[in-house]
Amino acid sequence: MTLVKTLFASSALATLASGVAMADPALIYDLGGKFDKSFNEAAYNGAKRWTEETGGSYKELEMQSEAQREQALRRLAETGANPIVMTGFAFSDVLTKIAPDYPDTKFAIIDMVVDQPNVQSVVFTEEQGSYLAGVMAGVKSETDVVGFIGGMDIPLIHKFECGYAQGFKSIKPEGKVLINYTGTTPAAWNDPVKGSELAKAQKSQGADVIYAAAGGTGIGVLQAAADEGILSVGVDSNQNHLHPGQVLTSMVKRVDNAVYDAFLAGTDLEPGVKVMDLAAGGVGVAIDDNNQALITPDVQAALDDAAAKIQSGEIEVHDYMADSSCPVQ
Amino acid sequence: MDFDTIIQILDSAVRLMTPLLLACLAGLYSERSGVFDIGLEGKMLMAAFTAAAVAYATGNPWLGLLAGIAGSTALSLIHGLASITFMGNQLISGVAINFLASGMTVLLGQKIFGLGGRTPSLTEGGRFGEITLPFADTIREVPFIGPIYAELLSGHTALVYVAFACVPLTWWILSRTRFGLRLRAVGENPASVDTAGVSVTRLRFAAVAICGVLCGLAGAYLATGLSAGFVKEMTAGRGFIALAALIFAKWRPWSALFATFLFGLLEAIANRYPNLDLGVVTIPSMFMNALPYILTVIILAGFVGRAIPPRAGGEPYVKER
């Protein structure tokens, strides 16, 4: 009995202590790593902006292996972090399991829908952003062949591929999209050598614009495209600066905004599904000083046209994840 | 599939096989001397990082190459210290080296460049440029031979030619020199070498050091030849494929050339044709990527000849008292 009492008291104390330290939000990066120049880095930038603007502090954690997910999530929840934001679809199973155990903690997951009362699921309409990238590639392509290089072969990346193909076909109905995936394991996100080799293979088949949705592997794709004198399209973060004048654009996913909003909302984070689409500024194509010269008036016109039509609903870009198939090939 | 396509695929295969070949030969020296080395992956990774970091800092790929060799050799010597001097388990030491390299590269990279383990992208001067062999442009137009010479043989980085030169060199060293004979003997029967008055420890350390140098070349080629900078875990399992190739090649240099070429070719084909349509069946790229491992298992299982490792491999040599 005494033992139970002691335990009870200490756990109450722990709760109290964590209550004091509470309200620090937390961010978990997925396997790509914090500075992948892409998806996770965008999340980091959002958190950084929040820190700069509010002066608050947050906890962060980088995943090193698949096995850590549950442990990492529980650890953060135990320490009283609230809300906990995680980047990446891979957290969905773990979060579904853990969320009910911490009803007072708010979670936000990016790129996946988890149906729990204390979880906000942030999803991006990557197909819309990729569609715009496809439109630009379609106008720019002289060979009528463009390439797509995905990282790990998963439905989410097919969503990028499918949107891109639809956009390209809307400009060049007879054109051809070459499609490669780097691999089927998480190592596929970090293999720039293979990325560059895939880009060279696509170039030799006539591709003159290559879209890389492949994390760190994409760095190799962009490099090879620049070496070979063809255009590339970056992804997630703005990657135009990596090879100025040789990256046509970047399909940006404002993961930073999603993280920033979640941090700002704090414990009042609204559960449910939050769709970050083109109209909401969640996705788009990056145009800055580095690629301004490539954006000729015809590209700009096609781009504006497509963007307006998507926002008005005139063009409905098919979402691969809705039925696991793509209307165009 | 026309002639140009075949040339392009072979060209890609040559690029892809080079790191495998260098790592495979590295493993060959080490294992023929009786020191198993599953740390090839880690050594390549470390070399890739140091090469990229120094090449970025100095703008000179050759200095990067030296740094790559130094980084990889340092790990080799740790392996030697653990498994030769202290007679530790060679497999465990190898695994430790893989982990050490995986962690150290990211840690150092983050500390130095603050890019999360990545090094900044190398500019033109910091990378190995492509070497155009003499007369490549003049005979390009000659049918058949022209494209083979101009596209396939010419236009690779210096390290590719170094790698290919290492094959006959290794064969010559192992089978025509006194050092090579002793090296092979120490992997088969170290006691007899010791009886002959030759230091087993010194021979094995020499082999492990050569292994480090070759892994250094492989890593530097990945970071400063094939790509432009280091990305964490960029070796992506190539060290293990090289080990598979080594078994596939039955620990022989010329067979290593063939095995790594086969593995490179399979990858190049998988890159070119994600879904290889053979008319009757369509082979997905996953199968092509898994094929090197499947082939290795078949060889190991003894279906196609037998792969017999050096007899004293994996065992530290204890001198009789």
A291 lies in some domain: no
Rounded Cα distance between B45 and B39, Å, is: 10
B17 touches chain A (CB under 8 A): no
Rounded Cα distance between B59 and A44, Å, is: 30
Looking at residue A27, the DSSP 8-state letter turns out to be: E
Q: Are residues A141 and A87 in the same domain?
A: no
Amino acid at the residue B167: V
Q: Are residues A12 and A107 in the same domain?
A: yes
Q: Are residues A176 and A72 in the same domain?
A: no
| pLDDT higher than 70, residue B301 | yes
| pLDDT higher than 60, residue B8 | yes
Closest listed residue to residue A231, CA positions, set A202, A254, A253: A202
Disruptive mutation site among B227, B230, B276 for chain A (greatest number of A CBs within 10 Å): B227
Q: Contact, A166 vs A177, CB < 8 A? A: no
Phi, psi of B116, rounded to the nearest 5 degrees: 70, 35
Q: Confidence class of residue A38 from pLDDT cuts 50, 70 and 90?
A: confident
Among B118, B271, B289, the residue with its CB nearest the CB of A35 is B118
Distance from the Cα of A164 to chain B's closest Cα (Å) equals: 18
A285 lies in some domain: no
**Residues in a beta bridge with A232:** A210, A247
A93 lies in some domain: yes
User: CA-nearest residue of chain B to A202?
Assistant: B272
Of residues A281 and B305, more confidence is placed in: A281
Q: Are residues A130 and A118 in the same domain?
A: no
User: CA-nearest residue of chain A to B232?
Assistant: A190
Rounded Cα distance between A237 and A43, Å, is: 9
* Mean pLDDT rounded to a whole number for chain B: 88
Q: Contact, A181 vs B285, CB < 8 A? A: yes
Rounded Cα distance between B260 and B262, Å, is: 5
Residues in B closer than 8 angstroms to A216, CB to CB, are 118, 231-232, 234
**Residues in a beta bridge with A231:** A209
| pLDDT higher than 80, residue A99 | yes
- Whole domain around residue A41: which residue ranges? 2-124+256-276
| pLDDT higher than 90, residue B172 | yes
Q: Are residues A7 and A18 in the same domain?
A: yes
* Contact at CB, B227 and A196, closer than 8 angstroms: yes
Q: The pTM is what? A: 0.85
Q: Are residues A23 and A141 in the same domain?
A: no
pLDDT tens-place string over residues B23-71: 999 999 999 999 999 999 999 999 999 999 999 999 899 999 999 999 9
pLDDT tens-place string over residues A184-230: 888 888 889 999 999 999 999 999 999 999 888 999 999 999 989 99
From residue B222, give the alpha-carbon distance in Å to each of B13, B235, B267, B292.
Answer: 14, 8, 16, 20
Burial of B218-231, coded b for 16+ CB within 10 Å and e otherwise, reads: bbbbbbbbbbbbbb
Residues in A closer than 8 angstroms to B271, CB to CB, are 180, 194, 197-198, 201
Joined together, the tokens standing for residue B158 give 């210096």
* Contact at CB, A190 and B121, closer than 8 angstroms: no
B284 touches chain A (CB under 8 A): no
* Contact at CB, A35 and B117, closer than 8 angstroms: yes
Joined together, the tokens standing for residue B272 give 């070119």
Taking only residues 224 to 283 of chain B, the set having a beta carbon closer than 8 angstroms to any beta carbon of chain A reads 226-229, 231-234, 236-237, 267-268, 271-272, 274
Q: Confidence class of residue A23 from pLDDT cuts 50, 70 and 90?
A: low
- What was the pLDDT predicted at A130? 94
Burial of A296-328, coded b for 16+ CB within 10 Å and e otherwise, reads: eeebeebbeebbeebeeeebebbbbbeeeebee
Over residues B96-121, mean pLDDT? 88
Q: Confidence class of residue A238 from pLDDT cuts 50, 70 and 90?
A: confident
- What was the pLDDT predicted at A2? 54
Taking only residues 60 to 119 of chain B, the set having a beta carbon closer than 8 angstroms to any beta carbon of chain A reads 106, 110, 114-118
pLDDT tens-place string over residues A112-157: 888 989 999 999 998 999 999 999 999 999 999 999 999 988 888 9
Please state the domain count of chain A. 2
Residues in A closer than 8 angstroms to B16, CB to CB, are 197
Rounded Cα distance between B97 and B80, Å, is: 11
- What was the pLDDT predicted at B304? 64
Q: Are residues A119 and A156 in the same domain?
A: no
A64 touches chain B (CB under 8 A): no
pLDDT tens-place string over residues A281-317: 889 899 999 989 899 999 999 999 999 999 888 888 8
Residues in B closer than 8 angstroms to A35, CB to CB, are 110, 114-118
- What was the pLDDT predicted at A161? 93
* Mean pLDDT rounded to a whole number for chain A: 86
Over residues B293-311, mean pLDDT? 76
Which CATH number covers residue A193? Answer: 3.40.50.2300
Q: How many A×B Cβ pairs under 8 Å?
A: 79
Disruptive mutation site among A61, A184, A185, A197 for chain B (greatest number of B CBs within 10 Å): A197
A288 lies in some domain: no
Q: Are residues A163 and A232 in the same domain?
A: yes
Among B116, B117, B274, the residue with its CB nearest the CB of A181 is B274
Over residues A98-118, mean pLDDT? 90
Closest listed residue to residue B14, CA positions, set B220, B214, B225, B168: B225
| pLDDT higher than 90, residue B110 | no
Burial class (CB in 10 A: 0-12, 13-18, 19+), B104: middle
Residues in A closer than 8 angstroms to B231, CB to CB, are 190, 192, 216, 219-220
Residues in chain B, total? 321
Amino acid at the residue B237: G
- Highest averaged pLDDT of the listed ranges A23-27, A269-273, B141-145, B203-207: B203-207
Q: Are residues A50 and A172 in the same domain?
A: no
Distance from the Cα of A238 to chain B's closest Cα (Å) equals: 15
A205 touches chain B (CB under 8 A): yes
| pLDDT higher than 60, residue B231 | yes
Beta strands in A160-266 (DSSP E): 176-183, 209-213, 231-236, 247-253
Over residues A71-78, mean pLDDT? 89
* Contact at CB, A180 and B274, closer than 8 angstroms: yes
Residues in B closer than 8 angstroms to A193, CB to CB, are 19, 222, 226-227, 234, 236
Among B115, B228, B271, the residue with its CB nearest the CB of A180 is B271
